[in-house]
Structure 1
Amino acid sequence: MVVSRREFDALFDAVRTWGRWSPADRGAWNRVTEDRVRRATGTVRSGRVVPLALPWNTVPGPDNPRPALHHMTDLGDVQSPEPATHKDFIAADYHGKAVTHLDALCHVSYRGRLYDGRTAKDVVGAAGARFGAVSALGPLVTRGVLLDLPAVLGIRWLEPGRAVHAQDLLAAEQALGVRIGEGDAVLLRSGQTRRRTELGAWDPDTASAGLHVDAVPLLAERGIALLGGDGDSDVRPSPVDGVHSPVHALVVAAMGVPLLDNLDLEALSAATDRAGRHEFLLVVAPLNIPGGTGSPVNPVAVL
């Protein structure tokens, strides 16, 4: 379903939460109070910890044009008193399709404005961002909900280009026996990681399963605090002419909701299926980077 730019702009204004919270650069994460975190710990029953990050990817490919770096800087042969040490160096241009990362609120602007109406060119510069940086978020701990679309549909994965609409989210809730609530982190599994493992890499910038913009009002109505998936949440090709990542614009710039991109949800899919429940405690600890537009992360789900 194609959405005109005029319709998209009206949708942006409809889900916008500018001026609602203080501090504003935490956006929707202000919904997650200490009491909500305490209640989220009640979802832990077995104590099983499931990591959700992809391996550090140093191999070039159609989905990894700027590979992460990893090399050794000390092999233990430097002349020094005992003990010998082994050291390495890592780096990543992580805003892409290959590194599991968190998008902070300063990462996305629309019509020149960041979340809360801040002018992007005024608050983001060569030294980083003075508003909406990842350092303003800190560790993120809340109830997580997995919407496992392939499991609901009885398929191995959603094909690239498959849009997930609001009715798909509602059907997944009913089938999985879970309901998205205020302050939740919603994780959408398309099966992209499994498809890549079995069929090989492709360019998800041109074709990826993900949310259609018509699903965003439901997430706004439910009051989510974090959104993530095994892609970057946007369906591609984009249904909005001239807007490559419309869900990013709506969720981050309008709603003030951080995004988790490029999760590995395969182990979590298996674990929630075995447990017979699709809620869990989610813990995300971004690096403390003042002015940072996000951070590589290794989120964990605790069942």
Structure 2
Amino acid sequence: MSSSSTDAPDPGPAGAGNGPAVSRREFDALFESVRTWGRWAPADRGAWNRVTADHVRRAAARVRSGTVVPMALPWNTRPGPDNRRPALHHMTDVGDVESPEPSTHKDFIAADYHGKAVTHLDALCHIAYRGQLYDGRTAREVVGAAGARFGAVSALGPLATTGVLLDLPAVLGVGWLEPGQAVHAGDIAAAEKALDVTIGEGDAVLLRTGHARRRETLGAWDADTASAGLHVDAVPLLAERGIALLGSDGDSDVRPSPVDGVHSPVHALAVAAMGVPLLDNLDLEELSAATAEAGRYEFLLVVAPLNVPGGTGSPVNPVAVL
């Protein structure tokens, strides 16, 4: 995929389709309405506490063909308008030592992964709103230079549950949603009907906007300023259904943000209010094709983040098993 800024496409009119606008006062009321603080123990697993052994068994029972679909983007070391902090990859051993046998080949990888180029999981310590993390912990008190003492990715562990793909371009008969196009609660309900799925408690919801296909076709653009994603008015529906995980081929938020003074309002609602970790920058193109061929949009989803004590998240390669 091209990542050169010289062929970055015009993402369209800023804010086109991202409304209606939401005031800070309205957003704060919405935050309170979906908040689940004090509901679970351990609190720093948040909504992942919803996923019981029964949920895992039901998810595993959805496997029919055994087709395994990975959802991680390639490790991106090329700078571009959507990759200002490229990941690192270099060889540390190229097997040039003649003895003793066997020779080895080793490499080094690193990433400042909370951006637009690396598929990753956001843990609960990643997002604070008005200075507070999920469950009301004060960010200044529990997050420091050594990492987080609450809500770290190491507290989450692996997740296996039912995944639901909301393939909006497939529903609408388009290649992709344009940057700045918002997905509302009514769009989610229409997608459920069209795809014959129902989002249930403990499910992982994956929203496909066609981001990767648009980037492949037209080139990279600055997704921090313009991206398709959820409007905040879609979040109460997801909260009502009791989801455990939310992911997208963008980062779930529509941009520009419809909320005055809040750059990533869906992040704030999902992570800080609801305790729902996020999967950002998924590649959902192969999954879109596989689910269309199978004629079903529910599957076993497995996410295994790295065990990083105090970490705010982790690069991941989630897999869907159909």
Q: TM-score, normalised by structure 1?
A: 1.00
- Partners of 1:80 and 1:10 in 2: CA distance: 68
**Which segments of structure 1 move beyond 3 Å, counting only runs of 4 or more?**
none
- Is 2:207 the partner of 1:188? yes
Q: Which residue of 1 aligns with 2:45?
A: 26
Task: Among all aligned residue pairs of Structure 1 and Structure 2, give the percentage whose two residues are the same amino acid.
Answer: 85
Per the TM alignment, residue 34 of structure 1 is displaced from its structure 2 partner at its CA by 1.0
Q: Which residue of 2 aligns with 1:41?
A: 60
- Partners of 1:252 and 1:141 in 2: CA distance: 19
- Partners of 1:73 and 1:215 in 2: CA distance: 47
Report SS of the residue matched to 1:28: helix
Q: Structure 2, unaligned stretches of length 5 or more?
A: 1-19
Report SS of the residue matched to 1:43: coil
- Is 2:89 the partner of 1:70? yes
Q: Which residue of 1 aligns with 2:266?
A: 247
Q: Which residue of 2 aligns with 1:271?
A: 290
Q: How many residues align?
A: 303
**Deviation string, structure 1 residues 233-260 (Cα, Å, up to 9, x no partner):** 0000000010000000000000000000
**Out of 132, 136, 149, which is 2:168 matched to?**
149
- Partners of 1:5 and 1:150 in 2: CA distance: 31
The aligned amino acid for 2:91 is M
- Partners of 2:74 and 2:312 in 1: CA distance: 21
- Partners of 2:54 and 2:201 in 1: CA distance: 13
Q: TM-score, normalised by structure 2?
A: 0.94
The aligned amino acid for 2:86 is P
**Out of 110, 121, 124, which is 1:91 matched to?**
110
- Partners of 2:188 and 2:54 in 1: CA distance: 27
RMSD, aligned α-carbons:
0.5
**Out of 259, 276, 280, which is 1:261 matched to?**
280
Q: Which residue of 2 aligns with 1:102?
A: 121
**Deviation string, structure 1 residues 34-85 (Cα, Å, up to 9, x no partner):** 1110111011000000000000000000000000000000010135410000
The aligned amino acid for 1:279 is E
**Deviation string, structure 1 residues 207-243 (Cα, Å, up to 9, x no partner):** 0000000000000000000000000000000000100
Q: Which residue of 1 aligns with 2:78?
A: 59
Q: Which residue of 2 aligns with 1:300?
A: 319
Q: Structure 1, unaligned stretches of length 5 or more?
A: none
Q: Which residue of 2 aligns with 1:6?
A: 25
Report SS of the residue matched to 2:272: helix
**Out of 299, 302, 318, which is 1:283 matched to?**
302
1:136-215 alignment, distance < 5 Å = 136-215=155-234
The aligned amino acid for 2:175 is R
- Partners of 1:109 and 1:148 in 2: CA distance: 29
The aligned amino acid for 1:179 is T
Q: Which residue of 2 aligns with 1:17?
A: 36
- Partners of 1:115 and 1:78 in 2: CA distance: 51
The aligned amino acid for 2:240 is E
Q: Which residue of 2 aligns with 1:235?
A: 254
The aligned amino acid for 2:276 is V
- Partners of 2:28 and 2:84 in 1: CA distance: 32
- Partners of 1:198 and 1:85 in 2: CA distance: 39
The aligned amino acid for 1:120 is A
